[in-house]
């Protein structure tokens, strides 16, 4: 269902340079708005109309200059488990090293599609050297230079062919909700509260629950699929591994879902890693419900919910129009409310607003506050329509789309949000030439 491309390889072969090249355009947009500094180890990319997530597994290795073989093994293992396609990056100037052989052995045994990427092929002389990599037994090497970008287009042509192009097309019509969040926020407990105790076993030690399972829930008039990322495997003992594993799981779950319920530990508040997941969902244009769990542990007076909510919203900016639900998985308080909220978000996300209604509401608003004239040019919006995409997208047809500012586009988005309920739903606004 999902499209995940993992970049693996020993340190210094150029993994992060390649990662930046594959994800740059998107990163700029989102980072600039949120003002949040984030780990740049995963991002969205698109080629020939196929969207996919890119993960730089090496980015998770601390002090990558003297990594132990074991560290590399761990990254590759995760990539084999979680990715659809693996880019195995090698340094053509150095040829095959012992570490490369370790990676190659694992990749040959894993059943995933692997592309051998011969990096640092900056000139013709180096092209001839790549032939050496056939010896790894993983097929034809693809010559690229991550620094200049040469060869990356041809590589991506092949990569997207190998990906599931129909990732968006879903067989099951029921809504899919993903329960995501950092280790220990209460994902297992939340799912237990929903599905009943016997369903799985929760222990107080982070990462000791079973593997993730998708469950169809059909009680009390509800019908949805739960994508559960709680199952962090026992083998990860170190905090960073857990963190890394949960990120990998979250990426997959977010790709697969319609709405994600992002669980936050109320006693810790929202942190960088939570925001990573939030922005990932936003970038994927999935519905979002923020769930503040362990609310029973927070000392409360009359205003505390409101104050807490305000603080959370500030951190989520600019995408603040999301439901925030305060739960206790322990006492089952408002767990079902969180689900109902996800159902509502899903409805808003899949609804199509009639062109007539859209124009009746939006044209008078635009008339009243038209885009400012730039360089003596007046922008005239003629009509608006919702495009038949899987997440709400609106096209505003006008004479001079290139003269409409980002600020005005945001203004239009906000008016759409005020007039049509898109709580928890990322929406896109495009200006198009009429």
The residues that touch ligand GDP, with contacts defined as CB under 6 A, are: 9, 11-17, 58, 64, 119-120, 122, 145-147, 181, 183-189, 202, 204, 206, 209, 230, 293-294, 296-297, 328-330
Query: Which helix (H) or strand (E) element contains residue 416?
Result: helix 406-419
**For the sheet containing 287-293, what is the strand order?**
214-217, 224-228, 176-180, 259-265, 287-293, 324-326
Inter-CA distances, 206 with 64, 72, 182, 263, 285, Å: 26, 23, 10, 15, 29
User: Given the complex with ligand GDP, which of 180 and 381 has the nearer CB atom?
Assistant: 180
Minimum distance between the CB of residue 232 and ligand GDP, rounded to whole angstroms? 7
Beta strand segments in 133-277, E: 141-143, 176-180, 214-217, 224-228, 259-265
CB of 263 to ligand GDP, least distance (A): 7
Distance CA 256, CA 250 (A): 10
Measured CA distances, 42 to 140, 181, 211, 251 (Å) = 26, 16, 23, 9
- Report the nearest approach of ligand GDP to the CB of residue 359 (Å): 45
CB of 21 to ligand GDP, least distance (A): 9
Q: Which is nearer to ligand GDP, 335 or 353 (CB)?
A: 335
SS3 377: strand
CB of 7 to ligand GDP, least distance (A): 8
Indicate the residue among 145 and 386 with the shorter CB distance to ligand GDP: 145
Rank residues 217 and 403 by Cβ distance to ligand GDP and give the closer one.
Answer: 217
Question: Kind and range of the H or E element at 17?
Answer: helix 15-34
What's the closest the beta carbon of residue 62 comes to ligand GDP, in angstroms? 12
Tell me whether the omega of the peptide bond preceding residue 318 falls within 30 degrees of 0, making it cis: yes
CB 92 within 8 A of CB 123: no
Question: Whose structure tokens read 């000791």?
Answer: 208
Least Å distance between CB 202 and ligand GDP?
5
Nearer to ligand GDP by Cβ, of 9 and 141: the residue is 9
For 434, the token pair is: 């009429």
Report the DSSP beta bridge partners of residue 262. Answer: 180, 290
Smallest distance, ligand GDP to C-beta of residue 90, A: 10
Closer residue to ligand GDP in complex, CB, 191/412: 191
Least distance from ligand GDP to the Cβ atom of residue 181, Å: 6
Q: Using the minimum distance from each CB to ligand GDP, give the nearer residue, 5 or 358.
A: 5
Nearer to ligand GDP, 80 or 230 (CB): 230
Residue among 291, 298, 223, 285 at smallest CA distance from 258: 285
Between 142 and 187, name the residue whose CB sits nearer to ligand GDP. Answer: 187
Give every CB contact of residue 261 below 8 A, 6+ residues apart in sequence: 177, 178, 179, 180, 190, 289, 291, 338, 339, 342
Q: Nearest CA to 385 among 425, 417, 353, 348?
A: 353
What's the token pair of residue 390?
A: 């899987």
Residue 210 or 415 with smaller CB distance to ligand GDP: 210
Nearest distance from C-beta of residue 132 to ligand GDP, angstroms: 17
């Amino acid at each position: 269902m999902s499209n995940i491309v993992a970049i693996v390889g020993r340190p210094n072969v150029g993994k992060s340079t390649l990662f930046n090249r594959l994800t740059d355009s998107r990163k700029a947009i989102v980072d600039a708005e949120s003002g949040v500094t984030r780990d740049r180890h995963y991002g969205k990319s698109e080629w020939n109309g196929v969207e996919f997530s890119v993960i730089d597994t090496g980015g998770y290795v601390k002090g990558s200059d003297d990594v132990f073989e074991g560290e590399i093994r761990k990254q590759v293992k995760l990539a084999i488990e979680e990715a659809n396609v693996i880019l195995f990056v090698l340094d053509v100037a150095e040829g095959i090293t012992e570490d490369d052989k370790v990676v190659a052995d694992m990749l040959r045994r894993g059943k995933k599609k692997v592309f051998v990427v011969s990096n640092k092929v900056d000139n013709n002389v180096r092209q001839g050297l790549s032939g050496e990599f056939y010896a790894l037994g993983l097929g034809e090497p693809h010559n690229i230079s991550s620094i200049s970008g040469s060869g990356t287009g041809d590589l991506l042509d092949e990569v997207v062919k190998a990906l599931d192009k129909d990732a968006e097309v879903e067989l099951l019509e029921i809504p899919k909700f993903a329960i995501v969040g950092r280790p220990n926020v209460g994902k297992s407990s939340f799912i237990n509260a929903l599905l009943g105790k016997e369903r799985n076993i929760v222990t107080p030690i982070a990462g000791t629950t079973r593997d993730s399972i998708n469950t169809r829930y059909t009680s009390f008039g509800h019908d949805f699929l739960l994508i559960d990322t709680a199952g962090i495997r026992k083998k990860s003992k170190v905090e960073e591994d857990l963190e890394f594993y949960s990120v990998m799981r979250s990426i997959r779950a977010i790709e697969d879902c319609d709405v994600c319920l992002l669980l936050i530990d109320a006693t810790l508040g929202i942190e960088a890693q939570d925001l990573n997941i939030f922005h990932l969902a936003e970038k994927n244009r999935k519905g979002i419900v923020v769930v503040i769990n362990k609310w029973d542990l927070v000392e409360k007076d009359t205003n505390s919910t409101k104050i807490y909510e305000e603080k959370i919203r500030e951190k989520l900016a600019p995408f603040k129009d999301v439901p925030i639900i305060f739960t206790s998985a322990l006492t089952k308080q408002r767990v079902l409310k969180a689900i109902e909220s996800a159902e509502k978000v899903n409805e808003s996300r899949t609804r199509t607003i009639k062109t007539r209604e859209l124009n009746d509401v939006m044209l008078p608003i635009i008339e009243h506050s038209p885009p400012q004239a730039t360089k003596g040019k007046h922008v005239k919006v003629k009509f608006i329509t919702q495009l038949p995409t899987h997440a709400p997208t609106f096209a505003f047809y006008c004479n001079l789309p290139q003269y409409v500012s980002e600020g005005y586009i945001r203004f239009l988005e906000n008016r759409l949000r005020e007039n049509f309920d898109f709580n928890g739903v990322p929406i896109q606004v495009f200006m198009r030439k009429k």
